[in-house]
Structure 1
Amino acid sequence: MDIKRKEYSVKDLMSFNVVTVDPNTSLDEAVRIMLENNIGSVVVVNEKGVLIGILTEKDLITKVIKGKLDLKDLKVKDIMSAPVVYVEPDTPLYEAVALMQSKKIGHLPVVKNGRVVGIIATGDIISIAPEYLELLRIKKKR
């Protein structure tokens, strides 16, 4: 089955305002930042601005809440996902969607020349290019 869809690239849908934190940021501070910015993840960068991890709502649920850990006792580096799966801005959107599906991730940093330049999330894809949902359904049936 062929899906008629615009050929988007990641740069067409990515958010350019990427919220970053240091790996030594306290987890409660990172959660506060996520809530204040109404975002589902923060990108973790080192002192040179290089991507080293990502902290997502899923990390918080699976590692903190299920593990009954205290936010105040932890740093971002203790539970962030690393190494990070990422794409470049010119990556075709269908490739990014396939990668997100295969890795079971909802947030994908966008990196150019070693620097984080954006992020794309499942919600971005659903709201702007819903035809890609059908692509995911077809792949799941195979």
Structure 2
Amino acid sequence: MTTVRHILDAKGHDVFSVSPVDSVADALRLMSDKDIGAVLVTEGDRVVGIFTERQYARKVFLMGRTSPTTLVREVMVRDVIYVEPDQSVETCMALMAAKRIRHLPVLSDGTVVGIISIGDLTKSAIADREFNIEQLVLYVGGGTR
């Protein structure tokens, strides 16, 4: 069973964040520079929200706001859903589907240790299934290809 820890060990533990008083333009610039779809919103060591491309599209662009004048705190999601490193890929996928979210911060003992996306989970699930199929083919074929 693949866990969040396995995914983070493979992709890295980098977490990028902005302050609630940063402008949306600053958050978007960081997201573009790092080629990511979400940033955590932090005050000191505390996670106070998450800002994603979805928030930009729905709460800034479609509402006629401007990125340079809108603060992250005005549009961020405050109730951040997170997972722990030992949770399974399947559990995370079910949570994301149920909550209709695409990014999950990963906390260990209250400390952020990474962030995973639905893309990370899908990639992992596909790799697991490909491995299982390969093993079945080897088994059925008597260990030869």
TM-score (norm 1): 0.83
Instruction: Give the CA deviation at 1:112.
Output: 1.2
In the alignment, is the contact (CA less than 8 A) between 1:18 and 1:119 conserved in 2? yes
Instruction: Give the CA deviation at 1:131.
Output: 6.7
In the alignment, is the contact (CA less than 8 A) between 1:9 and 1:93 conserved in 2? yes
Post-superposition, which runs of at least 4 consecutive aligned residues in structure 1 deviate over 6 A?
none
Distance 2:90 2:18 in 1: 29
State the structure with bigger RCO (CA 8 A, min sep 6), 1 or 2.
1
- 1:11 aligns to 2:5 (yes or no): yes
In the alignment, is the contact (CA less than 8 A) between 2:83 and 2:104 conserved in 1? yes
Distance 1:62 1:122 in 2: 19
Q: Is the alpha carbon distance of 1:132 and 1:76 closer, same or farther for their aligned partners in structure 2, counting shifts above 3 Å?
A: farther
Instruction: Give the CA deviation at 1:103.
Output: 0.3
Q: What RMSD over aligned residues (CA atoms) do the two structures have, in Å? A: 1.6
- 1:34 aligns to 2:31 (yes or no): yes
1:1-142 → structure 2 map (5 Å cutoff) = 7-14=1-8, 15-47=12-44, 49-130=45-126
TM-score (norm 2): 0.81
Distance 2:74 2:112 in 1: 21
- Structure 1: any 5+ residue segments left out of the alignment? 1-6, 134-142
What count of residue pairs does the alignment treat as equivalent? 126
Larger radius of gyration: 2
Question: Which amino acid is the alignment partner of residue 37 of structure 2?
Answer: G
Distance 2:122 2:87 in 1: 18
Distance 2:85 2:58 in 1: 29
Secondary structure, counterpart of 2:106 in structure 1 = strand
In the alignment, is the contact (CA less than 8 A) between 2:89 and 2:125 conserved in 1? no
1:24-45 deviations in whole A, cap 9, x for unaligned?
1111111100000000000111
1:69-111 deviations in whole A, cap 9, x for unaligned?
1111111111111110001111122111110000000000001
